[in-house]
């Protein structure tokens, strides 16, 4: 028998993970990022960029009200984001295919350190300036001809791997 949301036995837990979304503007993706962040116990979401569309109906529809339960903010300025990440001693992990990226399975999660997981825009990925801040750059191994996937799917896989370590 299928269980309802109220009947499931999952432990409620929040992890010291901040999801940093680099110029993500597609409303369905924003809503879905709230939903998976709530499901995986993400502490906070930072939307980096100008004019992030956080209020439209499409976000509310895909988030299924999780946008009301996950702390989030918008940071428009790179210097402010950089200061926040460095001053709070995050382990900065970028999810990006790059010349120096390693498979996600090889990510190292330091004990007692907060994680900032950076994910990139639907068009351009993670900016060079954010990649340069990263302590680790990881990618998801793929075996088809395509070398990318939807940002929400990729974030889901990465979050699952990180909280399972």
Here the CATH number for the domain that contains residue 38 is 3.40.1280.10
Alpha helices, DSSP H, located in the chain: 27-39, 57-63, 78-87, 128-133, 151-164
The answer as to whether 1 is a domain residue is no
Calculate Rg over the CA atoms of the chain. 16
Domain count, the chain: 1
Digit-coded pLDDT (tens) for 118-154: 999 999 999 999 999 999 999 999 999 888 899 999 9
The answer as to whether 4 is a domain residue is no
The answer as to whether 2 is a domain residue is no
Domain hosting residue 139, numbered range: 15-164
The answer as to whether 48 is a domain residue is yes
pTM, entire model: 0.94
101-116: average pLDDT: 96
The answer as to whether 157 is a domain residue is yes
pLDDT above 90 for 61? no
Q: Are 116 and 90 in contact (CB under 8 A)?
A: yes
């Amino acid at each position: 028998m299928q269980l309802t949301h109220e009947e499931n036995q999952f432990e409620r837990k929040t992890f010291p993970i901040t999801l940093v979304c680099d110029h993500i503007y597609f409303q369905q993706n924003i809503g879905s990022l709230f939903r998976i962040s709530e499901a995986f116990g993400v502490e906070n979401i930072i939307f980096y960029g100008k004019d992030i569309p956080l209020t439209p109906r499409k976000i509310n529809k895909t988030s299924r009200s999780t946008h009301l339960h996950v702390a989030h903010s918008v940071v428009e300025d790179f210097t402010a984001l950089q200061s926040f990440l460095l001053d709070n001693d995050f382990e900065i992990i970028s999810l990006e295919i790059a010349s120096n990226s390693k498979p996600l399975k090889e990510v190292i999660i330091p004990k007692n350190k907060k994680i900032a997981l950076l994910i990139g825009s639907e068009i351009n990925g993670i900016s060079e300036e954010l990649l340069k801040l990263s302590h680790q750059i990881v990618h998801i191994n793929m075996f088809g001809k395509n070398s990318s996937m939807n940002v929400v799917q990729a974030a889901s896989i990465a979050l699952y791997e990180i909280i399972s370590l």
